[in-house]
């Protein structure tokens, strides 16, 4: 047995100053100059910098069109409208995700049916989609959760068979790959957050990418009054040009797009270093009982993008039932203060999806325009329901510095290997682990 756990007065495993290993985004003079240029020219609310960013972003994505947004919520909202989701329609979305993968559908008159997640990828389980499809289903929202690509091949197959659209929520995985394909370009439309907590981090911003002209123009029509003009080619939209059909003003702030243009130049190489660092961390922990990597095998041509909000998978059964809360408490004592269990609380458990009447229909908004009670589907979400006790935060390294990374890995190893000392005094998990947003 190793040395005494820090929780019981032993020496902390993590002693080094982490320096800037966690600092993100990386901001240099080039970023500052780009932002100052917009400020000094007085074009914060203009569109010229954003248009350049859109062209560069589309090129980087390998998509025909990219459209900038004020945030990811707006981009996903527009993607839903672009996929013609309207009154009475249903989308299928994993219960384990950030709320902005789903709630916007209410304002379109539609509703959400939750599907379960896979225990290894933590993304929507393709085997749990078909039984939830009804004649009202219009789209599947595939979230590449915590950097991990969703299993797109079977999802696309199901979508094709049932004539559904696929919206990829790329907010956790910008630049990531699924079998060699860039995430966001596999489904009909990719929409994502670029807010500063994410791996592509430029303040408050969002992006929508697609190869489909009609989807692109419907997204413009919904919340981009300036761009919605005589240049629109989709016939049935033309008469309405000039005013935003969704009553939304969704364009990107140019301080963000200026920053985005600089960040994009360095993004891939920075993500590569993140993956090198994170894979090293997990390689050091391979085979340690109780903890398992949440990552793809890179041999498949897939990867973890920028490894957003990194989590590990917890196997309490390998540690005689030790709770993840007790485990994380011991890791925090070793010197990694951010080791908290859980992540996003599964959405289906929130009262907004059960009883709330948001729009005054006289019944819960979730079923306001439904011909059957979609809440029935929530009963069968076994993996989502235990998700919060299955994960814990791990350090999200931005640089490959093996000596420092090893200290953190050693902390996790020490706790896992000393788990017996923690069984006594394990108060179990509290009712609610995690939170409604990704960070604590």
Ligand X SMILES: *Cc1c(COP(=O)(O)O)cnc(C)c1O
By the criterion CB under 6 A, which residues form the site for ligand X? 71-73, 76, 97-98, 100-101, 143, 169, 171-172, 193, 195, 206, 438
Q: Are 419 and 294 in contact (CB under 8 A)?
A: no
In whole angstroms, give the CA distance from residue 374 to residue 111: 8
In whole angstroms, give the CA distance from residue 155 to residue 256: 33
CB of 263 to ligand X, least distance (A): 15
CB of 75 to ligand X, least distance (A): 8
CB of 200 to ligand X, least distance (A): 11
CB of 142 to ligand X, least distance (A): 11
In the complex with ligand X, the residue whose CB is nearer, 126 or 206, is 206
In the complex with ligand X, the residue whose CB is nearer, 171 or 257, is 171
In the complex with ligand X, the residue whose CB is nearer, 195 or 208, is 195
119 class by beta-carbon count within 10 Å (0-12 exposed, 13-18 middle, 19+ buried): middle
Ramachandran region of residue 143, left (φ > 0), alpha (ψ -120 to 50) or beta? beta
CB of 134 to ligand X, least distance (A): 24
In the complex with ligand X, the residue whose CB is nearer, 100 or 394, is 100
In whole angstroms, give the CA distance from residue 275 to residue 254: 30
In the complex with ligand X, the residue whose CB is nearer, 193 or 257, is 193
In the complex with ligand X, the residue whose CB is nearer, 290 or 346, is 346
| Whole-number CA gyration radius for the chain | 22
In whole angstroms, give the CA distance from residue 305 to residue 303: 6
CB of 405 to ligand X, least distance (A): 25
Shortest Cβ contact with ligand X: which residue? 72
- Count Cβ atoms below 10 Å from residue 187 Cβ, excluding itself: 27
Q: What are phi and psi of 220, to 5 degrees?
A: -65, -50
In the complex with ligand X, the residue whose CB is nearer, 100 or 330, is 100
The token duo for 287 is 């085979």
In the complex with ligand X, the residue whose CB is nearer, 76 or 164, is 76
In the complex with ligand X, the residue whose CB is nearer, 143 or 232, is 143
In whole angstroms, give the CA distance from residue 203 to residue 72: 11
In the complex with ligand X, the residue whose CB is nearer, 195 or 330, is 195
CB of 199 to ligand X, least distance (A): 10
CB of 143 to ligand X, least distance (A): 5
Reference 344, options 154, 169, 127; nearest CA is: 169
CB of 126 to ligand X, least distance (A): 18
CB of 22 to ligand X, least distance (A): 19
Reference 267, options 57, 58, 438; nearest CA is: 57
The token duo for 146 is 């915590």
The token duo for 247 is 């009553």
């Amino acid at each position: 047995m190793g040395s005494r756990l820090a929780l019981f007065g032993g020496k902390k495993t993590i002693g080094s100053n982490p320096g800037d290993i966690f600092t993100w985004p990386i901001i240099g003079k080039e970023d500052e100059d780009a932002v100052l240029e917009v400020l000094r020219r007085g074009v914060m609310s203009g569109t010229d910098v954003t248009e350049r960013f859109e062209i560069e972003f589309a090129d980087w994505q390998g998509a025909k069109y990219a459209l900038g947004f004020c945030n990811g919520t707006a981009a996903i909202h527009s993607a839903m409208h672009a996929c013609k989701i309207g009154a009475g329609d249903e989308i299928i979305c994993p219960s384990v995700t950030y709320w902005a993968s789903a709630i916007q559908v209410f304002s379109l008159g539609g509703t959400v049916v939750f599907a379960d997640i896979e225990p290894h990828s933590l993304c929507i389980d393709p085997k749990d989609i078909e039984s939830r499809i009804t004649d009202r289903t219009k789209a599947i929202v595939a979230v590449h959760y915590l950097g991990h690509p969703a299993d797109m091949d079977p999802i696309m197959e199901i979508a094709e068979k049932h004539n559904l659209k696929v919206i990829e929520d790329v907010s956790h995985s910008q630049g990531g790959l699924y079998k060699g394909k860039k995430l966001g370009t596999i489904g009909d439309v990719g929409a994502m957050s670029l807010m500063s907590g994410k791996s592509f981090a430029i303040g408050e911003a969002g992006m929508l990418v697609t190869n489909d002209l009609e989807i692109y123009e419907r997204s413009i029509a919904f919340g981009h009054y300036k761009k919605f003009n005589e240049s629109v080619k989709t016939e049935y939209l033309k008469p309405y040009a000039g005013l935003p059909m969704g009553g939304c003003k969704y364009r990107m702030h140019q301080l963000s797009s200026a920053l985005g243009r600089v960040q994009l130049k360095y993004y891939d190489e920075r993500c590569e270093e993140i993956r090198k660092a994170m894979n090293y961390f997990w390689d050091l922990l391979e085979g340690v009982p109780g903890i398992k990597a949440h990552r793809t095998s890179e041999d498949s041509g897939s990867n973890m993008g920028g490894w957003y909000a990194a989590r590990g998978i917890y196997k309490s059964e390998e540690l005689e039932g030790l709770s993840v809360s007790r485990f994380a408490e011991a890791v925090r004592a070793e010197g990694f203060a951010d080791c908290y269990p859980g992540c996003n609380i599964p959405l289906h458990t929130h009262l907004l999806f059960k009883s709330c009447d948001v729009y005054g229909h006289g019944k819960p908004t979730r079923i306001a325009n439904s011909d059957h009670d979609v809440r029935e589907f929530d009963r069968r979400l076994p993996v989502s329901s235990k998700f919060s006790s299955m994960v814990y935060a791990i350090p999200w390294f931005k640089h490959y510095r093996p000596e420092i990374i090893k200290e953190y890995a050693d902390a996790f190893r020490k706790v896992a290997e000393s788990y017996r000392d923690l069984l006594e005094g394990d108060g179990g998990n509290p009712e609610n682990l995690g939170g409604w947003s990704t960070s604590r």
